[in-house]
Amino acid sequence: MGDSDEGPRSGGRFTLVYSDPPTLDPHLVVDGTSFGIVVELFSGLVSLDDSLQIVPELAESWSVLEGGTVYEFKLRPDITFSNGEPVTAQDFKWSMERAGRPETASAVAETYLGDIVGMNDLINGDAGDVSGIQVIDGRTLRITIDAPKAYFLAKLTYPTAYVLNSENVENGGRSWTDNPVGTGAFTLAEYRIGQRIRLARNDNYWDRPAFLDEVFYNLSGGVSMAMYENDEIDITGVGLADLDRVNDPTEELNRDLVDTPAQFGVQYIGFNVDEAPFDDVKFRQALNLAVDKELISSQVFADLLEPAYGIIPPEFPGYNPDLEGLRFNIDRARQLLAESKYADESNRPRIIVTVPGSGGSPGLDVEVIADMWRRDLGVNVEIQQVEWATYLQDLNRKRLQAWGGVAWQADYPDPQDFIDILFYSETQGNRGNYSNPTVDALVEQARTEQDVSRRIELYREAEAIIVDEAAWLPLWFDTDRKALLKQRVQDYRFTQIAIPKFKDVWVTDAR
């Protein structure tokens, strides 16, 4: 919503429906639910703005030296943690090393910090500290990486690189996040599992303090639209069942209707290619070709989702509009199945597709896809639901045979965040164990390629191979959607990537 004539005012509360986050430890974040809260409580050297440009956060400036392998950051003067203690360059060194220590057990330290010289030695238990992170003085931090990489700075916007208060973490033990000391615009006032999370304004924030007194996350469940209409929450998405109603100009809710941009992500069903029957490329290709995404999109989702035939989403750097992908072709699907090692059903192992959930519907699209496989190919799959935190743990430990019900959301605007992190054979994020030497070579070349156009072309070449070999079944790209936002809420931002957003929100009444 736009500014009112009264101008910004402090006070008041913003309320929304949310789910329990699997973690509030920035160095352990692997999911969007946790990310959405952690970015309000903690921060790092740099962040992304509304335009997805890298901007200074706790670092007021930086220099890139030695041909792109050395980054020297100058911290803002007089920045403090939420408890008033000063933040120094040593705090950043301690924090990044803490993220990489084996006892922290971060599933993403290698992914986001592994470019730093010496970090992988720490992660593997072969070093006690990271030689590539140097404290020059209290306000100056120098980071050396293994090669010039255009995307490295963007990686530092992810929570793995956020600064923590060492005394808070060490004295708090396993439950330190019950009372976290951070540098974000908010502090954690209360967390009751399954009930609520309350964030309060951080009065020691380095920039202008937040306007809101409180952000209230309702964790108790319920029907979001009904809660919105009962004035229990300030924002809700608009589902298919309510779309016609809220689009009606005569409806009172129509005045609260806002457009929201498509998220930079892709929904998919993943395959563990080390496990039968997904170790056979023809079997995987058959499953891809047997799914009529256009039919599902139009008949099930009223075209609110765009069928995905690639990995990189539209409008994102590196998106290839000419990528054909594995489009619906049932005759070709049956032919490939017949040519695979698992043509004979008696030779086909039990197939379990794991999705997050707790007993409700596993997702209509997954059910429809499973029915298409059964009806048109004679391939039967079981859909298994597990609780969200367990699902993430099993996924990151590569325990799942096949999985769905999730999307990979971009963390920063670079195709490396999709192609390299998810499909390079040796990355932590390659949860399906996909491996292709040609893809690896293209990714390795793209990492240090300084020509932007050539980098994009390398990622597109790699993407075409990944898609053709059916490492995944890409399902949907997001499209522009509708949401409802109370008239009293001002300057709430809908963003395509998760970034801090509540600092600038204000309300025209302080209920």
Above 90 in pLDDT, residue 361? no
Q: Are 100 and 113 in contact (CB under 8 A)?
A: yes
pLDDT confidence band for 305 (50 / 70 / 90): confident
Whether residues 272 and 402 share a domain: the answer is yes
Q: Is the peptide bond before 148 cis (omega within 30 degrees of 0)?
A: no
pLDDT tens digits, 219-269? 988 889 999 999 999 999 998 888 889 999 999 999 999 999 988 999 999
Answer whether residue 415 is part of any domain: yes
Residue 428 CA to residue 278 CA, distance in Å, equals 20
Whether residues 19 and 79 share a domain: the answer is no
Tell which residue, 429, 470, 474, 475, has the closest CA to residue 273.
470
Residue 212 CA to residue 507 CA, distance in Å, equals 8
What is the arithmetic mean of pLDDT over 72-78?
A: 97
Whether residues 361 and 398 share a domain: the answer is yes
Whether residues 16 and 143 share a domain: the answer is no
Whether residues 121 and 193 share a domain: the answer is no
Residue 471 CA to residue 248 CA, distance in Å, equals 43
Crossing angle of the two packed helices 437-448 and 416-423, in degrees rounded to 10: 140
Average pLDDT over all residues of the chain: 94
Model pLDDT, residue 498: 81
Answer whether residue 450 is part of any domain: yes
Q: Are 137 and 89 in contact (CB under 8 A)?
A: yes
Residue 311 CA to residue 314 CA, distance in Å, equals 10
pLDDT confidence band for 415 (50 / 70 / 90): very high
| Other CB atoms within 10 A of residue 329 CB | 15
Whether residues 20 and 65 share a domain: the answer is no
Count of domains forming the chain: 3
Model pLDDT, residue 388: 87
Work out the percent of the chain whose per-residue pLDDT is above 70.
98
Which helix (H) or strand (E) segment is 368 a member of? helix 364-372
Mean pLDDT check: name the lowest of 148-152, 240-244, 440-444, 464-468: 240-244
Q: Are 117 and 146 in contact (CB under 8 A)?
A: yes
pLDDT confidence band for 6 (50 / 70 / 90): low
Whether residues 492 and 474 share a domain: the answer is no
pLDDT tens digits, 188-197? 999 999 999 9
What is the arithmetic mean of pLDDT over 191-207?
A: 97
Whether residues 449 and 312 share a domain: the answer is yes
* Residues in contact with 371: Cβ distance below 8 Å, sequence separation at least 6, in sequence order: none
Q: Are 80 and 87 in contact (CB under 8 A)?
A: yes
Residue 316 CA to residue 408 CA, distance in Å, equals 13
Model pLDDT, residue 510: 57
**Helices (H) and strands (E) in the chain — how many of each?**
16, 21
pLDDT confidence band for 472 (50 / 70 / 90): very high
Tell which residue, 94, 91, 57, 60, has the closest CA to residue 74.
60
Structural domain boundaries enclosing 92:
43-166
Report the CATH number at residue 302: 3.10.105.10
- Amino acid letter for position 457: E
Q: Are 500 and 482 in contact (CB under 8 A)?
A: no
Above 90 in pLDDT, residue 481? no
Whether residues 305 and 362 share a domain: the answer is yes
Answer whether residue 308 is part of any domain: yes
What is the arithmetic mean of pLDDT over 1-28?
A: 83
Q: Are 82 and 181 in contact (CB under 8 A)?
A: yes
Q: Are 507 and 235 in contact (CB under 8 A)?
A: no
pLDDT tens digits, 168-188? 999 999 999 999 999 999 999
Q: DSSP labels for 430-444?
A: -TT----HHHHHHHH
Where do the DSSP E strands lie in 335-439? Answer: 352-356, 382-386, 402-409
Tell which residue, 417, 415, 436, has the closest CA to residue 425.
436
Whether residues 225 and 352 share a domain: the answer is no
Q: Are 123 and 109 in contact (CB under 8 A)?
A: yes
Report the CATH number at residue 96: 3.90.76.10
Q: Are 134 and 141 in contact (CB under 8 A)?
A: yes
Where do the DSSP E strands lie in 110-195? Answer: 133-137, 140-144, 186-192
Above 70 in pLDDT, residue 129? yes
Whether residues 35 and 55 share a domain: the answer is no
The reported pTM is 0.91
In our burial notation (b when 16+ CB lie closer than 10 A, e otherwise), range 231-265 reads eebbbbebeeebeeebeeeeeebeebbeebebbbb
Mean pLDDT check: name the lowest of 31-35, 237-241, 475-479: 237-241
Tokens 């030779």 belong to 347
Above 70 in pLDDT, residue 1? no
Report the CATH number at residue 229: 3.40.190.10
Answer whether residue 171 is part of any domain: no
- Strand partners of residue 71: 64, 143
pLDDT confidence band for 458 (50 / 70 / 90): very high
Answer whether residue 177 is part of any domain: no
Residue 253 CA to residue 398 CA, distance in Å, equals 45
Above 50 in pLDDT, residue 3? no
Model pLDDT, residue 186: 98
Answer whether residue 172 is part of any domain: no
Whether residues 386 and 250 share a domain: the answer is no
Q: Are 279 and 435 in contact (CB under 8 A)?
A: no
CB neighbour class for 3 (10 Å; exposed up to 12, middle 13-18, buried from 19): exposed
Half-sphere exposure of 237 (CA within 13 A, CB side): 12
235-237/133-137 β-pairing: unpaired
Answer whether residue 175 is part of any domain: no
- Strand partners of residue 14: 215
Q: Which 8-state DSSP code applies to residue 18?
A: -
Answer whether residue 173 is part of any domain: no
235-237/352-356 β-pairing: unpaired
Residue 468 CA to residue 310 CA, distance in Å, equals 9
